[in-house]
Structures are given as C-alpha cells and as structure tokens.
Structure 1
Amino acid sequence: MPWKTLDEMELDGKTVLVRVDINVPVEDGKVTDPTRIEKIVPTVTDILEAGGKPVLVAHFGRPKGKVVPEMSLKVTVPALEAALGREVVFVGDSGKTNKQAVAEMKPGQVLLLENMRFDPGEEANDGRLAAELAALADVYCNDAFSAAHRAHASTEAVAQLLPNCAGRLMEAELKALEAALSDPKRPVAAVVGGAKVSTKLDLLSNLLRKVDYLVIGGGMANTFLAAKGIDVGTSLAEHDLADTAREVMSAAEEVSCEIVLPVDIVVARAFEAGAESETVAAEACPSDAMILDAGPDSVARIGDIFGKCETLIWNGPLGAFEIPPFDTATNAAAQKAAELTEAGELISVAGGGDTVSALNRAGVADKFSYISTAGGAFLEWMEGKTLPGVAALRTGSQD
C-alpha cells in the first residue's frame, strides 16, 4: 500500500496523535449511539499495546470556529471510557494546556483534546494549528476516513509534519475501497440508487468507466426511463436532465458498460404506508401513478447479474425503501448479494447514509464484505476524487 499502517510504525514510548471520528448522536447529555466510538477501539488498543500514548483529536458538530459549550467533546468521555475499558483524560477538564496535559500522560492513559472545530484554524487547514498539534506528538495516525474528504488542520496539514500512518479503521476502509474500485476482481457490478441524478452525476460518470454493469434504481431510474421516452406518470423524475441521462447511457455503451434499468415497476397513486399498489411493465406506468419500486422481474435480473460478478459496489436503494411494501426490491437484491457474499462468490462493498439504513432494514448489513459509514468521503472516493486526508498519508512526512 502507498500508505503505512500501525504495524510499520515504531510506537514504543512515542506519543501518537490520533485523528478519530467520534461525532456521535447525543440526547440529554448522553451518547445515544456509540458505534463510531466503538470503531476506534482497535486502533487505540493497538497503540497502547505497542507502548504508545494515544492523544485523540476529533470534531463534534459545527461550531464554526467558536467555542460552543454544548458542542464540547466532554460528552463523549463516558462512552469512550466504556468502550476502551480505561480512563480517558479530557484536557478541557484538566485546567492544563494541551502541551502540559500531554507531558503529564501516564502509561496506559488516553488523552482527548477539545473539539478541533472550536479553533477557526481547523477548517482553514491552518499551518499554525497544524504545527501546534504536531508539537504534541511523535507520530500522526489518521483513523477518520469519514473526515478524509476535508482538508482540515487535523486531517491534512498535520500529516505533512509528522511520520504518519493509517489507523485500523482507515486501513480497513481503504483496503475495501481499493479492492472494489482500484483493482477489482471482474466482472464488477455497481448499484446506484437514490432520488436524483443531479446529485450523482460525478459518481455515474466515474463508475461507468470502471464497472461492467451499472444498476440504476430509485428516483434516478425514473429519470433514465423518461429519457428513453417512457411515460413515468407522476413519478419523481428530473425531466430537465433527459439529455444528461442520454449522454450517460451513450458513454456507457462506448465503454461496454451495461446500464440496467427496471423492466417492471411497482406503482401507486399515493406515497404512504398501505397505499394500494400494482406491478406493471416499465413501459406501462399509468399517467396518474408514481413509480415507487422495481418489480420482481427487475429483481430477478439484478440477482442474475450479481451471480455473474466477482465484485459489487452498492450506493443507494432501488425504491422508496422507507415505506413497505416499496422496500421489496431493495431487500430482495440485498439478500441475494448477502447470500453470494457468504458463499464466497462475491466481494460486496456498500456505503452512504441511505444505503446503510436500507441494508440494516434488510437484515444483511453484517453479511456484506464491507459497509462504509463514511458518507461524503465514501461518495467522493467512488466519484474518483482525491481525498486530502488520504493523499496526505501518501505524501506526508514518513521519516
């Protein structure tokens, strides 16, 4: 790999500045979902076991360069201590400067600095703040892939100033994504769903050059069907992007990427639970109805494609999965992908907010090869964009 891992760093007796993502949901002063905190445990534990002293840096909320007490990272300390099984010293409570608190760290302790975004230098990727952070440590470890698409002081600038590496979570994410897009086992299929084509043009343009099958679902599929001259009734569709959709289909044809659209559809007159629905051919949508899901023939076709492939990348649902029965296609296709993955016949990588929710609802999130919770960073990686936080690990100080 072009970036180093924890295993390649000398950590014994060294202070390690660890960029983590613990931007967790909080209600009434308590963390309600500690998933992101639990995901950093392997990195922190391995640093401690190697004799290192972890100093955690993170953001919380959007204080926009000002001290906002209700956005203090202090609220995460109990959940951090529960997950790590040890004391976490919060600098904001110590009455000491960051430098003093680091100097007084005892073996086995974990230190947490205050919300990086309280300092305007964080989002400005300011060299002054990066230098202050670098002065605290001997090694920089980035374990926050979900923040790697931001060129901030704690994700990009500081990595240029210290020997650096990827943490366990970052390492797993990068390996999964590189296996799926950089050097995948072929054939490769991608599922791209969601409401609007306009939000995923870069994604579609990048993927069609890298995959053999591009399955388009959700409201996006309606735009493509309409671009082919098919009446989509009252469905959500971006009719002003018909030319763009046709350009995508033409570009896919040029590179021998097969675009897969629904051949049958589930329609209803109202988007609500229990609404009366029917399944019709894609070309037979009633003028007063809306398309809310792909039909069983479409799902069967998608399943056949999955069976031909070695690698699957998934972003977005196939229908309006939030309301049954319009989650049927997403659930069925996800379950097929999970079965093939468990049988060792498919490498499956998925990510994006709606995607994670949909796969959780389908009961298969733990059966995919890798599920990314990184959101924006995952999408930008799939779009072929350079992520500053990852690029810094490739080009930063490695002395």
Structure 2
Amino acid sequence: MLRNSHLKPKAYVHDAGELDAFPHIQTLKGFPKEELFAKVVMVRFDSAILLQKELDLKSQVTSAVSTIKYLFEAGAKIILLSDWSMKINSKLLVVESVADFLSSVLQLKVAPSRCISNRSLSKMEELEKADILLLENLSEFKGELANCSKFAEQLASVVYIFVNDSFSNSHKILASTVGVPRFCSACVAGFHFEESLCQLKMAAQINKKPCIAIIGGGNLFDKASAVRYLASRCDGLVFVGMMAFQIMHALGLHVPLNLLEGGALKEASNIVQLAQNRKIPILYPKDFWCTTNDFPKQMEIFPAYGILDGWIPVDPGPKALDEINSLLADCKKIIWIGPVKFRLASQNIYGASKLVSMLDRLTQSNCEITVIGNMACKGVMKESSFVSVYNMVENASVVWEFLKGRKLPGLMALDRAYPVEIDWNAAYTHPSQPLVVDIGSGNGLFLLAMAKRREDLNFLGLEINEKVCLLPFSVFFLLCMS
C-alpha cells in the first residue's frame, strides 16, 4: 500500500482535468523469459485479429502472432482462449475448425479441447499431448459475460501465468480478462496489448498545439464526458456525425426532430458552454448532402438550417468541408474519432475521403494525427498515401471509455504480476522524501492516519494476509484519492 499526502489521484471519472488512468503494468516483454519454461501460460487472444477471413501483415496481426510464438519458443505450455462468431469468420464455428485455422496462421500445431464443458479430461492431461491447447468458444458460456468467479477459477485451473492480448476487450468485465487473473501467479500484457496501449497513450496525450478533435458518430448522451474532456484540452472541436445536430440544437439552431437524440440537450449545452468559456471554436457542418428514402440515389445540398421534410443528411456539404480544411490548416495534432457518417450510408458520399486528403497534406507539415475507430481507420487505409505516419486505434469503444476517465477493467487486472516492478516516481509526487515502511500494515488505516499527520514523509505498507487487506485496501485506496 502506498500513501503520500500528494499522491496523484486516480478517480474513476475525471472532471475535465488530466487523465491519469494508466497503472504500472507488467508486460511479456519485461517478464523474465527463463521463468516461462515449462510453465502453463493462458493467452486470451483477440479473435477479431487472429481469426479474420483474410489475414494481412498489419502490425497488430504480427504482434498478436508474436505473443504466442514467443511463449512457445520459451518452452511454455500454452492454453489459448477467446470468443468468436460468424461475423468474424463464417467458416470457423466449432473449436476443431478454429484450431486448424490457428495452426496454419501460427505454423504450430494447435490442439482443440472441450475440457470446459466436458470435465472428464483435465487440461493438464491434454497439455501432455500438445504444446498449444485451444479451449472452447467463450461466447457459449454465460459465466464469461457474468465474470463468474467459479467459471474463472475453472478456466484458470493449472494455469500459472496469464497473458492478456485482447486489448479490444479491456473496457469490459469478463471472466477471461478480469476473473482469471485472480487465480494466476503472474498476469502480464502480451505484445499486441502493449502495442495497443501505447497507441492509446499517444491518442490521449495532448502534447502539441494547436490540437483539434474531429468527432464523428452519434450517441452524444453516452459519450458526453469524453467529449467534455476533449473540449477541455483541445483548441477546437469539429463535429462530422450525428452529434453535430445535438450541438446545433444546443446553439439554438433549428434541427428536424427526427435528428435529435433524446436527453442529449443538457449534455450538448454543457459542452458548448465549456468551449465558449475556453474561447475555442466548435465547428458543425453548415451544409449537407441529403437524400430521401424513396429516391436514395437522388442527392441535393441543403443548408444546415434548411433541411426539408423527408430529406435525410448523409454527408457534409462543400461549405462544411471548406471550413474544416481552413480550421485544420495550422494544426500540429489532430484526433479523429468516429466515422464521418449520418443516418443513411451511401456509395455516393465523399466526406471521409476528402477528410483523409486534408489530413494527408497535414502529415507533410509534421502534424501528428491519431485516427480512432474501425470505419475511420479503414477510410485512411483505403484513401491515404501516407498510412504509415498515422497513429491508428481501431477499437473506438475502448478509447471512448478511457476518455470518459474510467479505468479499463482488463488493464487494471494486469496490475499484479511477479516479479513486481513499481515506478516510484509515478507512485509518489515527491519520491525523494524519507520513506516509512510499515510491515504487517493490515487494513492500512493506521498508516493512513500517520500519513495525514506527516506530509513530509512517504509511506509504504506491506501485508501478506490477503484476507485482511483485500477489501479494506479498496477502502484505503479510495481514502487516499479523496
């Protein structure tokens, strides 16, 4: 347990201040390779990456494959674990077909196992016959989504080291990402997880000015705290999706009722007020390309305040794109999160491709550009001539949750590994102050009282009895944050 009167707070929801939700985690790269030999290692992999119909050589595929191969070369006994569906690959339904597919991807023999549902054969017995074992589809078990403790314990039986390489699930509370680590001696991040975490850190870091956030998609009510964070840090906001209409409504502009989101007006008004207080621009499309349900191929341009009944916006208009281009001209950092998309998709929309063209030009003037979200990333990969210079994070859900100031459960579960490494400069505001160590600190309340009296000292509590400190430690940690 750590205590310092100036200990940096790590609140669950930020108030438009600095995000500080990155714990010090152990990584496979930093874990002693010799400690892996003959150990049973469970890898929670991302099926959306390794089970794609057409695997390419993108870095995330390479890093995900490297995690498993590295463990195999280190002499570990590997248990692979994931969920999959027909959306990922319609040919991969049963565990046997997935094992065959992974064998071809990894160039290693992967043996299927049904030991979750059929307990007649233990994982240890099966590992004697194969170095890599694939367990059944997690989506078939209710205990996965419920983070059932008994189910997690069953998954983790015989497992010594847990490796999480499914960053796209880090914002969810699952048995395979949050429950299993409780029963393992070491819990570390795989190569893909670590790479994705670095990309997230780059996305959240506003280290260059001016910085503009381009915000697409909808559902402002749910994402309001994340948008407020961007409004509190960036030098301008550009809305290119359904959220634009909620902002227009908050600004007092006429918006067709069918384009408004229930309950979002108050949140949109708060965002507008914050931007006005900081004197930063909020840009929304001044015109739109629109179509109708009856004649989807017929396109007309309407001003934002004059969209006729029956017409539906599908793309920013030419004036809107010119305004965006002008605002971005002198930027040194751009965060693009969410798709340039409104209610109807159409093959005739060009907003995303024109936006990529703008960003391509900015990359030539050393502008740092982060693109977040599957659709936005696909647009860049399809249209850009300079893909390699973009920082791309395909899973927008994780980033939205992080920007809200919420700690990512899958990330927090990795903050317990052996050998333990602690960044004392991050733990204490003044690490050079004298350190007081309380061995056998119990629930930490005595140590907390001492720390409140002596702000000139740093305090460290050590307690071996997990039953004594587990729940009280949570209370103690919250007290430290207050």
Into which bin does the TM-score normalised by the smaller protein fall? 0.7 to 0.9
Q: Shift of residue 391 of structure 1?
A: 1.0
Q: d(CA) in 2 for partners of 1:44 and 1:184?
A: 34
Does the alignment pair 1:393 with 2:443? no
Aligned position for 2:69? 45
Does the alignment pair 1:150 with 2:162? no
Residue pair 2:221, 2:263 contacting (<8 A) in 1 also: no
| Match of residue 102, structure 1, among 127, 132, 143 | 127
| Match of residue 296, structure 1, among 318, 323, 326 | 318
Residue pair 1:263, 1:298 contacting (<8 A) in 2 also: yes
Q: Shift of residue 116 of structure 1?
A: 3.1
Q: Please give the residue correspondences for 1:156-167 in structure 2 after superposition, counting only pairs within 5 Å.
A: 156-160=178-182, 161-167=184-190
Q: d(CA) in 1 for partners of 2:229 and 2:365?
A: 27
Does the alignment pair 1:332 with 2:357? no
Per the normalisation by structure 2, the TM-score is: 0.69
Q: d(CA) in 2 for partners of 1:338 and 1:18?
A: 37
Aligned position for 2:277? 254
Identity %: 23
Residue pair 2:285, 2:320 contacting (<8 A) in 1 also: yes
Q: Shift of residue 172 of structure 1?
A: 1.3
Residue pair 1:207, 1:383 contacting (<8 A) in 2 also: no
Q: Shift of residue 216 of structure 1?
A: 1.0
- Residues 205-259 of structure 1 show CA distances to partners (whole Å, capped at 9, x for unaligned) of 2322232222111222123223323334576233763343222200222345432
Aligned position for 1:355? 376
- Residues 78-112 of structure 1 show CA distances to partners (whole Å, capped at 9, x for unaligned) of 3212211221111239984222223444xxx4321
Aligned position for 1:373? 394
Residue pair 1:274, 1:324 contacting (<8 A) in 2 also: no
Q: Please give the residue correspondences for 1:147-296 in structure 2 after superposition, counting only pairs within 5 Å.
A: 147-160=169-182, 161-182=184-205, 184-233=207-256, 236-238=259-261, 241-270=264-293, 273-278=296-301, 280-286=302-308, 289-296=311-318
Q: Which runs of 5+ in 1 are unaligned?
A: 63-69
- Residues 170-211 of structure 1 show CA distances to partners (whole Å, capped at 9, x for unaligned) of 111110111121464333322211244334323322322232
Q: d(CA) in 1 for partners of 2:361 and 2:108?
A: 39
Residue pair 2:43, 2:165 contacting (<8 A) in 1 also: yes
- Alignment CA distance shift 1:74-1:271 (3 Å): farther
Q: d(CA) in 2 for partners of 1:317 and 1:369?
A: 16
Report SS of the residue matched to 2:196: helix
Q: d(CA) in 1 for partners of 2:310 and 2:393?
A: 38
- Alignment CA distance shift 1:328-1:322 (3 Å): same
Aligned position for 1:11? 33
Between stretches 130-139 and 329-338, larger displacement belongs to: 130-139
- Alignment CA distance shift 1:131-1:244 (3 Å): closer
Q: d(CA) in 2 for partners of 1:365 and 1:139?
A: 39
Does the alignment pair 1:317 with 2:339? yes
Q: d(CA) in 2 for partners of 1:125 and 1:222?
A: 38
- Residues 146-166 of structure 1 show CA distances to partners (whole Å, capped at 9, x for unaligned) of 111222222012224322221
- Alignment CA distance shift 1:154-1:277 (3 Å): same
- Alignment CA distance shift 1:196-1:118 (3 Å): closer
Residue pair 1:25, 1:32 contacting (<8 A) in 2 also: no
Report SS of the residue matched to 2:114: helix
Q: d(CA) in 2 for partners of 1:136 and 1:338?
A: 51
Which protein has greater RCO, CA pairs closer than 8 Å, 6+ apart?
2
Residue pair 2:42, 2:79 contacting (<8 A) in 1 also: yes
Q: d(CA) in 1 for partners of 2:372 and 2:289?
A: 25
Q: d(CA) in 1 for partners of 2:409 and 2:377?
A: 24
Residue pair 2:339, 2:373 contacting (<8 A) in 1 also: no
| Match of residue 111, structure 1, among 120, 133, 151 | 133
Residue pair 2:83, 2:137 contacting (<8 A) in 1 also: yes
Report SS of the residue matched to 1:209: helix
Residue pair 1:188, 1:311 contacting (<8 A) in 2 also: yes
- Alignment CA distance shift 1:136-1:336 (3 Å): farther
Residue pair 1:233, 1:288 contacting (<8 A) in 2 also: no
Q: d(CA) in 2 for partners of 1:335 and 1:220?
A: 23
Residue pair 1:3, 1:166 contacting (<8 A) in 2 also: yes
- Residues 275-317 of structure 1 show CA distances to partners (whole Å, capped at 9, x for unaligned) of 1312x54444446644332222322332344443333222222
Q: d(CA) in 1 for partners of 2:410 and 2:267?
A: 32
Match for 1:308: what amino acid?
D
Residue pair 1:223, 1:239 contacting (<8 A) in 2 also: no
- Alignment CA distance shift 1:116-1:281 (3 Å): closer
Q: d(CA) in 2 for partners of 1:239 and 1:10?
A: 53
Aligned position for 1:83? 105
Aligned position for 1:65? none
Q: d(CA) in 1 for partners of 2:125 and 2:47?
A: 24
Aligned position for 2:146? 124
Q: Which runs of 5+ in 2 are unaligned?
A: 1-22, 87-91, 421-482
Between stretches 298-307 and 245-254, larger displacement belongs to: 298-307
Aligned position for 1:66? none
- Alignment CA distance shift 1:128-1:256 (3 Å): farther
- Alignment CA distance shift 1:231-1:361 (3 Å): farther
Per the normalisation by structure 1, the TM-score is: 0.81
Between stretches 35-44 and 246-255, larger displacement belongs to: 35-44
- Alignment CA distance shift 1:101-1:257 (3 Å): farther
Q: Shift of residue 11 of structure 1?
A: 3.1
Q: Shift of residue 32 of structure 1?
A: 3.4
| Match of residue 139, structure 1, among 158, 161, 179 | 161
Report SS of the residue matched to 1:309: coil
RMSD over aligned Cα atoms: 3.4
